[in-house]
Structure 1
Amino acid sequence: MQSSTISHSDPILNLQHASLSLVGNTGPVEILHDISLEVRTGETLGLIGPSGSGKSSLLMVMGGLEQATGGTVSALGQDLTAMDEDALARFRRDNMGVVFQSFHLIPTMTALENIATPLELAGHKHAFERAQAELEAVGLGHRAGHFPAQMSGGEQQRVALARALVTRPRILLADEPTGNLDATNGDAIMELLFDLRDRYGATLIMVTHAPELAARCDRVIHLRDGRLDQTTTREAAE
């Protein structure tokens, strides 16, 4: 993992006047407008808002998966907006885990191989041993040799969670992690997500439409039309 001079009292993520503009068929489209936001170490932050409000785009900017076209985005004291694609990929590999709504597992790899891949890319000597332990942690040790197509949606999302956390990331980004699941599987993934967050002490930032997920966050950011609309905290809600 990359060393960093960030202290526990510093924000683990810091956005200052960040904006995102993408080029569409009819010209530039403004996705995010002048976002200034700090995320504290160990915090659980929810991003909510209507469809098209910029929630997923903001999450992608936080993870360097989309480069902000204005302002600055810093994570663990490092300026993501100053990094090229290779540097961003290394930074994410060493410091971030990402869980998508659509799982994004590699179809030609088994569950165990999918989970081991980030460790192998990082040159970890015991990639498959740790991957097996992570698979056990999400209750799928018996599925190690199965391919994604042989697993249910809930099982695939468990594998995706294990893959995101196998590197022990400081920051966990989750984009609608229960969005493609039925209520039963969604509840199970929600419990697992928070259990794993607590186990590894990761800072969790999550896009969600689920009120029950947002209610468990320390702070909820409401977005509208690519702008910060309002902020609520769990303490205020209670």
Structure 2
Amino acid sequence: MTTPILSLKDATLSLDGNAGRVDILHGITLDVAKSETLGLVGPSGSGKSSLLMLMGGLEQASGGTITALGNDLTAMDEDALARFRRDHMGVVFQSFHLIPTMTALENVATPLELAGHRDAFDRAADELQTVGLSHRAGHYPAQLSGGEQQRVALARASAPRPHILLADEPTGNLDETNGSAIMDLLFGLRDRHGATLVLVTHSNALAQRCDRVVRLRDGRIAETDQQEAAE
């Protein structure tokens, strides 16, 4: 049997809030295969984004284990998790999270520079060309439209050639036209680099393009749908 690239065993997440401790995820057990595209869907508050954050080590599990590429994320400290993400993962957020004082080219080059790539800016320029933004390389985020900012965010996430690409509502802040374009780019980048893609979405069109869809409800896996035909 092939070892999954991501594996969660009885993973739980509880956070302390003003009203006391809140249980967000309850005993999540889930394997993700190499090169699979997995969609996480469900109503608001069902735990989709929290589950994605656990997979990326952006939230620390309260219980259970999470392994990625054979590494136990639950045993790592914040510095080790940051290095692991830098070397193996790309993350795309709904709200872009670009650095406002850096140009598009500099934003894309930053993770490559942090990883020690001497050709960081050349690779960043190539990635911007892939997402159709070579002509905007010298522009700052405030000078870009929402669709353009998300393209830069996609280029930044994919430039280091991650094994795992995580996307949290990547089309959530975009209109239908831009959302469709980002969808095509996201799957194109997956195919180009052979990455495993896990995405949170409310978009039925985006979910239908995934190999498998996991539906969450109240912090638990409600059902899993294997798609008959994935793009």
- Fold-level match, TM-score > 0.5? yes
Deviation at 1:116, TM superposition (A): 0.2
Of residues 71, 76, 86 in structure 2, which corresponds to 1:78?
71
1:22-77 Cα offsets, whole Å, 9 max, x none, are 00001110000000000000000000000000000000000000010100000000
Deviation at 1:92, TM superposition (A): 0.2
| Amino acid in structure 1 at the alignment position of 2:177 | T
CA distance in 1, matches of 2:98, 2:155: 11
| Amino acid in structure 2 at the alignment position of 1:186 | G
The TM-score with structure 2 as length reference comes to 0.98
Residue 43 (str. 1) matches residue 56 (str. 2): no
Residue 126 (str. 1) matches residue 119 (str. 2): yes
The TM-score with structure 1 as length reference comes to 0.95
Question: Any stretches of 5+ residues in structure 2 without a counterpart?
Answer: none
Of residues 91, 99, 108 in structure 2, which corresponds to 1:98?
91
Report SS of the residue matched to 2:10.
strand
Report SS of the residue matched to 2:5.
strand
| 2:12–2:24 CA contact under 8 A, matched in 1 | yes
Report SS of the residue matched to 1:235.
coil
Quote the residue 2:135 is aligned against: 142
CA distance in 1, matches of 2:223, 2:229: 13
| Amino acid in structure 2 at the alignment position of 1:35 | I
List 4+ stretches of structure 1 deviating above 2 A.
Answer: none
Deviation at 1:236, TM superposition (A): 8.3
Percent identity of paired positions between Structure 1 and Structure 2: 75
Deviation at 1:121, TM superposition (A): 0.6
Report SS of the residue matched to 2:91.
strand
Quote the residue 1:30 is aligned against: 23
Q: CA RMSD in A?
A: 1.1
Deviation at 1:9, TM superposition (A): 1.9
Matches within 5 A, 1:1-238: 9-235=2-228
CA distance in 1, matches of 2:4, 2:86: 20
Question: Any stretches of 5+ residues in structure 1 without a counterpart?
Answer: 1-7
1:153-183 Cα offsets, whole Å, 9 max, x none, are 0000000000000000000000000000000
CA distance in 2, matches of 1:104, 1:166: 16
CA distance in 1, matches of 2:210, 2:116: 34
